[in-house]
Amino acid sequence: MATMRSSCLIIISLLVLGSLSAFAWTFIKPMDVNDPRVIEIANFAITELNHKSNTNLKLVKIESCVTQVLGVVGYNYQLVLLASNGTTGETNKYWVGLGIQLAIRASKL
């Protein structure tokens, strides 16, 4: 019985450590601005911004893109974009952050 209890304790503490470290490891990875995924995300961001704030921005250029990995929780893209105002034609620089959450569910059957 005593050995059973201690092995349970060990398993629990490993799980706690495991989930803490899963949240703790984050790193930033630069992305190639010509990567089709980056272009897709930039276009998606502009479309969403236009939709949400009722603007008419047009993507001119992707200046930079990094992905920030947040353990197993998800990751986000951080982009610096040049976009022109569809009304005035004025080009401005925008910072865009887009989070992608990895949803994992498990249930005991």
Ligand X SMILES: *[C@@H]1O[C@H](CO)[C@@H](O)[C@H](O)[C@H]1NC(C)=O
Query: Which residue lies nearer to ligand X by CB, 19 or 85?
Result: 85
Query: Which residue lies nearer to ligand X by CB, 57 or 81?
Result: 57
CB of 33 to ligand X, least distance (A): 22
CB of 39 to ligand X, least distance (A): 21
Q: How many CA atoms lie within 13 A of 82 on its CB side?
A: 8
Contact 63, 93 (CB under 8 A): yes
Residue with tokens 């910072």: 95
- Closest-by-Cβ residue to ligand X is 85
Backbone angles phi, psi at 82, to 5 degrees: -105, 125
Contact 85, 57 (CB under 8 A): yes
Contact 61, 83 (CB under 8 A): no
Query: Which residue lies nearer to ligand X by CB, 57 or 70?
Result: 57
Query: Which residue lies nearer to ligand X by CB, 87 or 107?
Result: 87
CB of 85 to ligand X, least distance (A): 4
CB of 26 to ligand X, least distance (A): 31
Show the beta-strand stretches assigned E in 1-109.
26-30, 57-70, 74-85, 91-101
Binding residues (CB under 6 A) for ligand X: these are 55, 57, 85, 87-88
